[in-house]
Amino acid sequence: MQTFEESAQGWFWSIDAGGCVVYISENVAEMLGTTATKLVGERFSDIFVSEEDGSGRKNLPFLLTKRSAFDGVTLMPAGDKAEHFWVASGRPQFERSGEFVGFRGSAIDTTSQRRSSAHASRLSDYDALTELPNRRKMEEFLDKVLDGAEHHLRPCTVMLVDLDRFKQVNDTLGHPAGDVLLKQVAGRLVRIVGDKERVFRLGGDEFQVVLPSCADRKQIDALASDIIHGLSQPYSIGGSRCIIGASIGMAVCPEDGTSRAGLMRNADLALYASKSDGRGRSKFFSTDLLASAERKRALEEDLRDALVRNEIRLVYQPLVHCQSNRITGVEALMRWDHPNEGPISPSVFIPIAEEAGLVGRLGDWALRKACEDAARWPGNLRVAVNVSPSQFSDGTLPHTVVSALATSGLSADQLELEITEGVFLGDTAAAANMFATLKKIGVRLALDDFGTGYSSLGYLRSAPFDKIKIDQTFVREATLPGSRNSAIIAAIVALAEALGMDTTAEGIEYLDQLALIRRLGVSHVQGWVYSKALSCEDLVARLEDGKWAIEPNGPAMQRSSRQSMFRKAGVVHGNVYRSGTIRNLSRTGALIDGINEVPAQSLVIVDLGEGQLSFATVVRAESGHIGVRFDQQLVDDGSGTLCTRRRISAYSMATLELPKPGDPDRVLTSVKLEEDLTQLGRRLGLVPLALADGSDTASPPPVPATFRELSREYLESLAGDEGALAAAQEAMVQHFLPRFGQRVADGSGWKDVSRFIATLDAANSPGLRQEDIQHLRKQAARMWSLAVDMQLIGTDEAPEGSEHVFARRSQAYAPISTEECRQLLIASRSSPNRQLKFIMALLMLTGARTSEILNMRWSDINLEEATWHITLPNGSGRRRHRLTSAALIMLGDLPQLGDCPFVLPNLATRKPYQSLTKSWEVVKQRADLPHLELDDLRDCSFREEYWEEELAPILTTTGT
């Protein structure tokens, strides 16, 4: 017994008939922080309690009252937070007379086993790297939520979040840096969503958010937008600045499914669609996505048998010498004639083949078939065949080429293999060996789609290419005004000539394009201006007729591709809104019917519907219709539809009483007749291109229309101060955005904010501490300051009675005192960051934002005029800031670092600091002011003469 007790593996106990301790081992008494002597006489059930395990086992007092033996009862110290566990057994004791005299028993310590079990359980439920719940935990949680949704019709939303460009970080900085990045991403996600138990890491760079009882698509879309914006902000990893992005797919229960498998599948389809649309987007699931996925699956199944059923064929597009118009070769292009759906575009079935692993089989067939066909053609016409990266990396490619040439009898120099830049992303040594092997065979090599891949120009030094093919993306719109494509083409031609390579320009469709290509010295051309792709039979017929030369034929001039349509639109001219119908729409302009009394050269605002407004100039006006040229070109929305780059909120348009396209013509009462149309544009966040030059005298640049957009600019202005950024993000997500996110940040909107701030009080704001309330007041004041700086609202437009909240340097929170400024500057002297004390000083002296100080340039400062021209947070304009004499003296004393344009750069990189968080944390702890954020230094309370006498000398001394 003694050995058992001394080993601390367990202990013994004995109690009397009343349940009081008669004996207990000393080792357990020590665990309880007392002695065995003191425990004698205490009730056993007051010292220990039994664990409620849900098995129906009775509690300890009941077991002792029952006076029967028991085993396997888990005991814990009463009132303890489960720090110790024992499994106890007991036997009742009786006198010879049968009188009950108490219990005797023993207990075994199971604490370590319990902890190990709990740790293992946590490992099975939580991701070890990010400490987020893992896939298993997500499935358990989602099943529980959906069980309630199915029976009680409760909504639920699943959001799949996939990181964009994460692989690039792993490849360039290494996997340890990738792990650090994932931790930071997890932290940002939790801050944005607000609940750690609703954010899950599924694995790799994929996360999931589950929102129980949430089906408001507007609210969900806003949260997705916040996540994308938050995750796209720069990260600091080991001194390196990393920028990634995020794409999100969303499915809502019950509309998009009521089972976990269904919701996950549909969210995944939406995620795939958002990535296909260009990444950095969010998309809800729709039945169209499911239909598309099912069609894709069906096409994949059909494609597997297409070769056997002779549904795949090759066509050949001529490659023509630019000056002589003679055919020198052809490119083999694959076509699929589906038995039910007819011709399937290569842009549809080639990506399917790549994903399904069929592209190798199709590529081998195309290579053999092209050689077989070319061997029958008269003359020495070359045939070019595309080789995919997967084919190129396959070691059997040289054997396939040799076999195809031997079987067909085609000369090796008549075969040209077109290879894309993607082959250089893999093993470069293996690529070099493959190039050498192919050149030994004698085939020609062409670099396809040049300039559209991911590699550098370095591979051109060693890769033995005979030709560079200029991708049609450079040719497209090369002749349009303002295009830089011609300069890019000229550079490619010069590079190819220096390396002794031919050039081929793809996608030539217009005669003016052909003329430009000839002037730039491109050697060969491929495109519809000469010929569409021909079947083998048609090509042979032309060659046998001796038609080796082709005369170019096509439209004389290129215009932006136009879409014919009947789409309602609105035109604002003067103070009248007129409705019409768009007949033709391109990126650069539109033809609008039904518009009268708008003369040529007029400036108008065109309303394309759904918040898509743009300034435009009327280039021609005829009876009943006008032609307009947009100030800013439209963009493709990813589905082939043209749209404006940004949209105006419905709230903004309703505030100005703007009609919708198709409504009857109307005089706008919100616009005065004599008022310049640019004033209306400014209120909508639009500005004519001619005035948006960023100068101080220009009209204000486009500014955020809603508090949500303003909050994004505000968070970006906090770059460099991660502590302030995290606190501001929490305030935005928890308080401001849910209340004001979609409202316009104008006078009426700020009145609502003012009322909200005025009602903040710990008594009627449950869960808010006084410091939380002061923090919210501070955030509101700083957002107001930003709105004023961006000319979103005037300084004199503060809501009545709220001047104490929004007035600069007189917010309803305590500014930093003179003594606190002194403590901080003294603490900064010993910082390894030699620039930090000067950055802190300028924050105190100018009241500018941290990001503005970090990006301050000498060229923006005029010491003679005591002015500093600060770039607005959205980068589209500047504001003039008056510098105090103390700030001027300090700036005059700072050295200019050679050709470095920045006033206070990182001395190691000569670029602005990306983060000051670590050095600032040390300084504020030394100053015993741990609650301060770096951005708080903007609001200091000291007289300028005190600065010169007491604070400025601190900057010229060093710390210990």
What pLDDT does residue 928 have? 87
DSSP annotation of 829 = T
Residue with tokens 């100068």: 695
Cα 335 to Cα 344: distance, rounded to the nearest angstrom:
7
Q: Which of 333-342, 569-578, 647-656 shows the lowest per-residue confidence on average (mean pLDDT)? A: 647-656
Distances (CA, A) of 699 to 339, 363, 682: 60, 57, 8
What pLDDT does residue 632 have? 80
235 contacts 184 by C-beta, under 8 angstroms:
yes
478 contacts 458 by C-beta, under 8 angstroms:
no
Distances (CA, A) of 766 to 735, 753, 770, 773: 13, 19, 11, 11
What is the average pLDDT across 69-94? Answer: 85
Q: Which of 53-62, 387-396, 664-673, 819-828 shows the lowest per-residue confidence on average (mean pLDDT)? A: 53-62
Task: pLDDT band for 796, please (50, 70, 90 cuts).
Answer: low
What is the average pLDDT across 887-893? Answer: 84
What pLDDT does residue 717 have? 67
327 contacts 548 by C-beta, under 8 angstroms:
yes
270 contacts 251 by C-beta, under 8 angstroms:
yes
What pLDDT does residue 267 have? 92
* Phi/psi at 890 (5° precision): -65, -45
Residue 817, pLDDT above cutoff 60 = yes
DSSP class per residue in 100-160: EEEEEEEEEE-HHHHHHHHHHHHHHHB-TTT--B-HHHHHHHHHHHHHHHHHH---EEEEE
Nearest Cα neighbor of 606 from 581, 624, 623 is 581
The token pair at 304 is 């597997």
Structure confidence by residue, pLDDT tens digits, 345-357: 888 888 888 888 8
What is the average pLDDT across 572-596? Answer: 88
Secondary structure string (H, E, C) spanning 203-245: ECCEEEEEEECCCCHHHHHHHHHHHHHHHCCCEEECCEEECCE
State the average pLDDT for the chain.
Answer: 81
510 contacts 555 by C-beta, under 8 angstroms:
yes
H/E run at residue 771: helix 770-789
What is the average pLDDT across 122-146? Answer: 87
What pLDDT does residue 700 have? 38
Residue 334, pLDDT above cutoff 90 = yes
Q: Which of 59-68, 125-134, 367-376, 877-886 shows the lowest per-residue confidence on average (mean pLDDT)? A: 877-886
356 Cβ neighbours under 8 A, 6+ residues apart = 300, 303, 304
The token pair at 732 is 């935005």
Task: pLDDT band for 58, please (50, 70, 90 cuts).
Answer: low
What pLDDT does residue 442 have? 93
Residue 359, pLDDT above cutoff 70 = yes
Q: For the chain, give the percent of residues with pLDDT over 70.
A: 80
The token pair at 508 is 């030539």
Cα 409 to Cα 229: distance, rounded to the nearest angstrom:
59
710 contacts 728 by C-beta, under 8 angstroms:
no
* Phi/psi at 252 (5° precision): -115, 130
Q: Residue 840, exposed/middle/buried by CB under 10 A (0-12, 13-18, 19+)?
A: buried
Residue 662 CB coordination number (10 Å): 13
Distances (CA, A) of 607 to 579, 580, 582: 9, 10, 11
What pLDDT does residue 522 have? 93
The token pair at 936 is 């708080």
Residue 182, pLDDT above cutoff 80 = yes
Which pTM was predicted?
0.48
Cα 666 to Cα 407: distance, rounded to the nearest angstrom:
76
What pLDDT does residue 102 have? 93
What pLDDT does residue 210 have? 93
What pLDDT does residue 695 have? 38
Task: pLDDT band for 80, please (50, 70, 90 cuts).
Answer: low
Cα 194 to Cα 737: distance, rounded to the nearest angstrom:
13
Structure confidence by residue, pLDDT tens digits, 842-870: 988 888 888 888 888 888 888 888 888 88
448 contacts 420 by C-beta, under 8 angstroms:
yes
What pLDDT does residue 558 have? 64
Stronger pLDDT, 698 or 768, i.e. the higher one: 768
What is the average pLDDT across 18-28? Answer: 91
Cα 598 to Cα 920: distance, rounded to the nearest angstrom:
60
Q: For the chain, give the percent of residues with pLDDT over 90.
A: 21
Determine the residue type at 677: L
What pLDDT does residue 564 have? 65
For residue 573, list its beta bridge partners: 576
Number of Cα atoms under 13 Å in the Cβ half of residue 687: 17
Residue 808 CB coordination number (10 Å): 14
DSSP annotation of 377 = S
* Domains parsed from the chain with CATH numbers: 1-116 (3.30.450.20), 127-285 (3.30.70.270), 299-473+486-530 (3.20.20.450), 562-684 (2.40.10.220), 707-790 (no CATH), 806-956 (1.10.443)
Task: pLDDT band for 699, please (50, 70, 90 cuts).
Answer: very low
What is the average pLDDT across 941-947? Answer: 73
Q: Across the chain, how many H-helices and E-strands are there?
A: 36, 35
Residue 203 CB coordination number (10 Å): 10
For residue 555, list its beta bridge partners: none
Cα 575 to Cα 677: distance, rounded to the nearest angstrom:
8
Task: pLDDT band for 766, please (50, 70, 90 cuts).
Answer: low
Q: Residue 868, exposed/middle/buried by CB under 10 A (0-12, 13-18, 19+)?
A: buried
What pLDDT does residue 680 have? 78
What is the average pLDDT across 794-804? Answer: 56
**Segments in 586-665 forming alpha helices (H):** 650-655
- Cis bond upstream, residue 659 (ω within 30): no
645, 650, 651, 652 alpha-carbon torsion, rounded to 10°: 50
Cα 752 to Cα 476: distance, rounded to the nearest angstrom:
50
Residue with tokens 């001796």: 546
176 Cβ neighbours under 8 A, 6+ residues apart = none
Nearest Cα neighbor of 933 from 774, 700, 756 is 774
Task: pLDDT band for 117, please (50, 70, 90 cuts).
Answer: confident
Q: Which of 253-267, 482-496, 669-683 shows the lowest per-residue confidence on average (mean pLDDT)? A: 669-683
What pLDDT does residue 671 have? 67
Q: What is the distance in angstroms between the CA of the first residue and the CA of the last residue of the chain?
A: 62
Which pairing describes strands 415-420 and 382-387: parallel, antiparallel, or unpaired? parallel
What pLDDT does residue 939 have? 78
825 contacts 838 by C-beta, under 8 angstroms:
no
Stronger pLDDT, 291 or 375, i.e. the higher one: 375
Angle (deg, nearest 10), helices 885-893 and 836-846: 160
Residue with tokens 């149309």: 677
Residue 108, pLDDT above cutoff 70 = yes
Cα 371 to Cα 36: distance, rounded to the nearest angstrom:
96
